[in-house]
Structure 1
Amino acid sequence: MALSVVIRAAAAFWIAAVLAVAMFRSGLYFDTAFYRIGMMLSAAGALAACGMAWRLARLKGRLSGERRKAALSHYAAAAGPLGVSALYALSLLRGPASWQATIEQGLRWSAYAGFLLVVLMFLEDGRFRLWLAASLQLAGALLAAGGLAGWFGWIQYPGMVMLSGDERLSATGARLGGFFQYPNMYGAAAGAFVLWQLALLVRERGIAASAWSACTAPFCFAAMLLTESRGAWLAFAAGWLAGLLLHRSEERLRWLACSGSLAAAGAIGYRLALAAGPGHAAAGYGEAASGGGIAGLWRSAPPGAEAALAVAALAIGGAALFGLNRKLAAVAAEGGGGAAAPDGRARSVAGERGDSLGAAAPGGRTRSVAGGRGDSAGATASGGRARSVAGERGDSLGAAAPGGRARSVAGERGDSAGATAPGGQAMSVSGGCGESAGAAGTPGESAAIAVPASRRLAAIAWPIFTIGFCIAFWTVWSAVEVRVEGEGRSGTAVARLAYYIDGWTLLKEAPLFGQGGGTWRALYASVQREPYVSGEVHNGYLNVALDLGAFGLAVFLAMLGVFLLRIGRRDAAMLAVPVVLLTHAAIDFDMSYGYYWILLFCWLALHSSSGRRRGGRRTNAVSKR
């Protein structure tokens, strides 16, 4: 499906508008705010389903088996939320605990299914991936900018900043909730955006994209810290650790270095924002502003100057992060990281003790020049022929295969071999010490070569990460220490445990199929053992089990599992982003927000959809230690 630029731009604008409206309307937590946008999403999904069915029927004889299978997989992916909606509808036949809540949940999930189907339909064109990523980037910028503007008092929105003199609720006296009016949900969303920006920086997709990610990441990180949500911080740590483990060796070092720089910049901006924001907030938010205590003391905080200083510090931190990332990319390229150049030209990469330099000639031809001890060079001539030149103490072999395929074998006391992949693509695998290999295929189909991280890159990454982490830990801990230490006595984690015990008791009354939507809100008072008032069980998975039982929870988890499995096969490192949202939902009620699902489905669709590349060609990278 070849979409015109106008159609792609219009679709991306529509997705960005949906995310913006969902955020501004309290994250679509309240059902009254969800009705209109929910009906629009359901209608859009129905039109998308009809359009995809008509296209498949019209092109039935012209679509290859693989392309037809990919198109049909979109229906299967959207069937997950639609199946959840159907289970809520079936609950009406058994007499649910709340008829209204059951109907509302069924409508919500049908709307999510419609939105997901629209996104997947446009992602059939691989070029739409960039447009969808741009929409998400805009959503992240609005999330951070809107929250910080409310913190500094530049805009007014009810509940944007939660003020409290109770140390059990806030150690600093104020917590940023953003347009969601809930700090925990806001912190989880901001943390997911931070990890997404980090992952994009590690991949170095272009100067403009890297500059945007580097500049927005510190603002998102500072916004996450201002929420003072320990659950969101823990979910962020889980996602960050997943990203560290799932990246490859060289990318892992860049992940560490960028994380250290980002942590230091965001933490410094956070402390400056603490001094700047609550004074504005105390003048216009809630009854706590007119009282004493911490909120009252912050009334005298000077406006303007400190807020500008905080913003400037975050901007400088973003610029430093961008410069660091560019330096890391240069070190990786010089010290052993190989990459495919634009237009299919390839370059070779050298090991530690035998350097080589690879450069691409026009028309996809590749040449490699080597020197020193045991160095080798393989270069392809026109017409797909290959030649190789060996150094002093290492033999090399270069040969051309049919169809422009080339391979070279070289080494100094440790051989390296290059082989070709199907379709004229070339790949190289190196080993030993002092290895180098150059290979080239047809234009646009050269393979990237990856070599283990160099010592020079590690020498930069580890000190930056260590220093940045220490700065961030000391800066944040000194502000929230009193609340963390008091958690064991009567904190919110203890209260959640009471919810979960009562929720389990309620689940045992209908373990297989649940009691319909709104079960917890309608029935928790009948089983509670301690005095509390909470309309949410603070666990999205337990809430689904209460509504739909074990069967519904299995369908729900299968829906998420299919997406995560597809992301793991395509780009496992990107699992760090949904890990934050899915982990935090286990300790809070994020899944009750419509914004949560719209954002999550955008990310899942973006990174699980393979998408046809322009011209149907792909670039492969093979690495070996």
Structure 2
Amino acid sequence: MGSVNRERSLDSIIVYFSAALVIAAGVGACLLRGFFFTEEMYLFLTLWFVMCSVALLYLYIGVGKWRSSTGGASGVRRALKIMLTAPLIVLSLYQIHWLRDPLSAQGTMNEILRWGLYASFAFLVCFCALNRVGRQLIIAAWSILGMFLSISALLAVCGGVELPFAIAYSNSSEVSITGARLAGVMEYPNAFGAVMAVFLLERLFAVAAYYVRPQKSVDGCDRLERREPRSTAAALLRLLPLFPYAAALLLSESRGAWLMAACACAAVLLWKRQLIAPLLAAGAAPVVAAALLYRQLARAGLAVDPLPGLLLLAGLWAGALLAGLWLCRRQRSAAGIARAAMLALAAAGWTAAGTAVLLHVRERITGPSSTVSARGLFYRDAWRLAVEAPWLGRGGETWRSSYLAAQSRPYVGSQVHNGYLDILLNLGFVGLAAILLMLLAAGWLLAQRSPRLLPPFLVIVMHSAVDFDWSYGLIWLLLFWLPALALSEYEQKHQSANTRFTSISLLTTHFASANLGATIPAFASLSHPYPRRLFITVACCLCLMLSVLSLQAAQGERYYRQAVQTVDPSVKVDLLEQSLAWNPQSPKTAVALSRLLTGEQSVSILQQSLQYSPDNASLNWEMARRWMYSDDPGAALYWIRRSIQLDKYNSVKWVKGIEGMLMMGRKKLAEGNRMEAISCIASGNELLREYRVLAEYEGSKGEQHNDRKFQITEQADDLSRRLSVLASRF
């Protein structure tokens, strides 16, 4: 009896610990802007990987005590195995790049840490889904996460809370009709809109599935699924999130999120036609109320007084709840003409809401869009860059590190606005194939276990093709969370009551043949505890290594921020040196430190950093600046040309480079070295000629997409006259 109690205690500890980590990941994503900036995640990742190591230690202790389980159909087991293995393959590919001199060692390290988070989160959330207590916790955590994201954003608009950058302002009518768009904690309206579409469709189809009318069986009796008691309180809780999700989605004014939500919804409704009527009834009132809120706030540019704004929000929410509850119950219980009239009323509500919103933003939908054409430029330039390393790519953050050199127009776009292209640039076709296989497996699992979760999954899959959603860690968490919810629902309905704690056996079986950093051999028999212990040991060691790596990066970032806030130059130098000692791969730290040093020290710092990021535009330009003050015109010209090649649409660099050659020509002339002076002047004139040709060619294309204002400047004209005067002396 004591042994059984100890096993149950260990079971509970692991389940609660894993669920706590899942919840911590959701909380961290909310507090850290959706996990967009990796620099903000370092400390979180350090603690995360330590906690994952602790969880693995508990698994190691109890691995021999849990019985094996089939885990359901073989197809589902295979899909789950693929879905959990693919992140490890991606992680391994980034580790290979890290050892092979990638385009950006810092960017590759960031991706290693990110995919370590994604792989471990996928394991933990699926682990929880296969346990009774764990599945309840992750289902509740999903709902709480969605409500927090939506309510915090709406309260920021209505004056309830202060949330910096929750509203994105723009003076361009092509970006926003109202001049303001809701961005929430993610601080980017398009990504926030996609997340709200995910939560809205999940809840909408959940309510529709709950209120679907009973079907007649062969004997003529009503065939009812086993359901929870239909109390009013329970029904209101089911409908509660629909209005804030819909309102936040509309206020994001994300055309892509709207379109993808509609397409995903239509695709699944064509397959599950029995959900059309309950979905119309469930969504009519919340969508109408959300449209009213959108039109009211849009007129005010998302700027309203707190009290009226909060009263409007509360009133519309309450009305949407009561009307939605009435429509859902009438749809399920009414028959004949009464039901047809009710459905017509619901359809009219959807139509009115859609018309009100679309009429308000019709100019952004029907008119020409510079943002759409800009994406076309991104995709063409990214594809040309991808074919240079098609199989394995160039490592993490390839586009961010090289877009200035690859761009065909002077646009501003450090994000490629396409998740699949971003993966292709980073990991080539091998990495992209792993991601696509993972998405197919996850989609198949959802279709088999919970088709109602397919629409939110499709929103993520489709919207990621037109924006940089996958740069947000939160999106990946949601993508892995959805299959876990599907497993939870299926297990809740079909798992036998006497099956105890099968999740460890199932998931360690799935993981045991996966690649984890290095290749782990596939074991012929996984019923024995030793192969599982070997896998857990390797996974624990990897987590500890990732924890150390993230700790070093966190320390480097901490010292860098302290240096930025320090005025005393000597203290600043000391802090930057400590930052670089902790994280020598950081190019921004090397640039900041080199500007505070002189001579060989400065050049040495830059040379060391260039070993980690050879094509970094900032590092190469700093090196050019150093050589322009040296006695070596050849080296100066080399670094000027190299830095311009890596950032060719930068007028400042062209002008400074030409000025540097003029300055060196004057210096050589003063020293009596006429030949080198003539060479410097000729080089300056050649740079000026190339600059004029490029600027004139760019000017002939028009002002559109010339976001960086690349053109011939007055300083360039002045340099031309000064070069001519100096050349006349020869």
Say whether the fold is shared (TM-score over 0.5).
yes
Determine the structure 2 residue equivalent to 1:357.
none
- 1:551-566 aligned within 5 A: 551-566=430-445
In the alignment, structure 1 residue 479 sits paired with structure 2 residue 360:
yes
- Paired letter, 1:253: A
Question: Computing the radius of gyration over CA atoms, which structure comes out larger, 1 or 2?
Answer: 2
Determine the structure 2 residue equivalent to 1:217.
242
* 3-state SS of paired residue (2:174): coil
* 3-state SS of paired residue (1:493): helix
**Equivalent-residue separation in structure 2 for 1:604 and 1:585 (angstroms):** 18
- 1:45-194 aligned within 5 A: 45-52=52-59, 55-59=62-66, 62-65=67-70, 77-194=83-200
1:616 to 490, 496, 510: 496
Please state which structure has a larger fraction of its residues in strand.
1
**Equivalent-residue separation in structure 2 for 1:182 and 1:209 (angstroms):** 34
**Equivalent-residue separation in structure 2 for 1:53 and 1:9 (angstroms):** 17
* 3-state SS of paired residue (2:122): helix
**Shift in Å, 1:210:** 3.4
Cα deviations by residue, 1:544-593 (Å, 9 ceiling, x for unpaired): 00000001100111112211111111122320111112211111111011
2:327 to 324, 327, 341: 324
Determine the structure 1 residue equivalent to 2:377.
498
Cα deviations by residue, 1:495-531 (Å, 9 ceiling, x for unpaired): 1111001111111101111011111111122221112
In the alignment, structure 1 residue 511 sits paired with structure 2 residue 535:
no
* 3-state SS of paired residue (1:532): coil
Q: CA 1:504/1:66 → structure 2, altered by over 3 Å: closer, same or farther? A: closer
In the alignment, structure 1 residue 25 sits paired with structure 2 residue 32:
yes
- Paired letter, 1:484: I
Report the RMSD for the aligned CA atoms in angstroms. 2.8
Q: CA 1:138/1:13 → structure 2, altered by over 3 Å: closer, same or farther? A: farther
- Paired letter, 1:542: L
Cα deviations by residue, 1:391-424 (Å, 9 ceiling, x for unpaired): xxxxxxxxxxxxxxxxxxxxxxxxxxxxxxxxxx
- Paired letter, 1:273: L
**Equivalent-residue separation in structure 1 for 2:342 and 2:479 (angstroms):** 31
Q: Is the 8 A contact 2:289 2:317 kept in 1?
A: yes
**Shift in Å, 1:2:** 6.9
Q: Is the 8 A contact 1:276 1:307 kept in 2?
A: no
* 3-state SS of paired residue (2:181): strand
- 1:434-473 aligned within 5 A: 459-460=340-341, 462-473=343-354
- Paired letter, 2:181: R
Determine the structure 1 residue equivalent to 2:316.
313
- Paired letter, 1:182: Y
- 1:342-491 aligned within 5 A: 459-460=340-341, 462-486=343-367, 488=368, 490-491=369-370
In the alignment, structure 1 residue 272 sits paired with structure 2 residue 296:
yes
- 1:560-575 aligned within 5 A: 560-575=439-454
**Equivalent-residue separation in structure 1 for 2:484 and 2:457 (angstroms):** 11
Structure 1 length-normalised TM? 0.70
Q: Is the 8 A contact 1:272 1:307 kept in 2?
A: no
Q: CA 1:191/1:598 → structure 2, altered by over 3 Å: closer, same or farther? A: same
Q: CA 1:210/1:10 → structure 2, altered by over 3 Å: closer, same or farther? A: farther
* 3-state SS of paired residue (1:279): coil
**Shift in Å, 1:138:** 0.6
**Shift in Å, 1:127:** 4.8
Runs of 5+ in structure 2 lacking a partner?
Answer: 1-6, 211-226, 499-730
Q: Is the 8 A contact 2:209 2:452 kept in 1?
A: no
**Equivalent-residue separation in structure 2 for 1:457 and 1:81 (angstroms):** 52
Determine the structure 1 residue equivalent to 2:255.
230
Moved more, 181-190 or 591-600: 591-600
**Equivalent-residue separation in structure 2 for 1:322 and 1:569 (angstroms):** 29
Q: Is the 8 A contact 1:253 1:461 kept in 2?
A: no
Q: CA 1:586/1:614 → structure 2, altered by over 3 Å: closer, same or farther? A: closer
**Shift in Å, 1:79:** 2.1
- Paired letter, 2:402: L
**Equivalent-residue separation in structure 2 for 1:37 and 1:255 (angstroms):** 39
Q: CA 1:329/1:41 → structure 2, altered by over 3 Å: closer, same or farther? A: farther
**Equivalent-residue separation in structure 1 for 2:88 and 2:342 (angstroms):** 45
**Equivalent-residue separation in structure 1 for 2:360 and 2:319 (angstroms):** 23
Q: CA 1:593/1:615 → structure 2, altered by over 3 Å: closer, same or farther? A: closer
**Equivalent-residue separation in structure 2 for 1:65 and 1:90 (angstroms):** 34
Q: CA 1:15/1:472 → structure 2, altered by over 3 Å: closer, same or farther? A: same
Q: CA 1:48/1:7 → structure 2, altered by over 3 Å: closer, same or farther? A: closer
**Shift in Å, 1:113:** 1.1
Percent of aligned pairs with the same residue?
Answer: 31
Runs of 5+ in structure 1 lacking a partner?
Answer: 281-301, 336-454, 619-625
**Equivalent-residue separation in structure 1 for 2:78 and 2:466 (angstroms):** 35
**Shift in Å, 1:327:** 2.4
- Paired letter, 2:35: L
1:576 to 455, 466, 470: 455
**Shift in Å, 1:89:** 0.7
Q: CA 1:589/1:128 → structure 2, altered by over 3 Å: closer, same or farther? A: same
* 3-state SS of paired residue (2:241): helix
Determine the structure 1 residue equivalent to 2:600.
none
**Equivalent-residue separation in structure 2 for 1:271 and 1:532 (angstroms):** 33
**Shift in Å, 1:27:** 0.8
In the alignment, structure 1 residue 539 sits paired with structure 2 residue 421:
no
1:199 to 192, 200, 205: 205
Please state which structure has a larger fraction of its residues in helix.
2
In the alignment, structure 1 residue 523 sits paired with structure 2 residue 528:
no
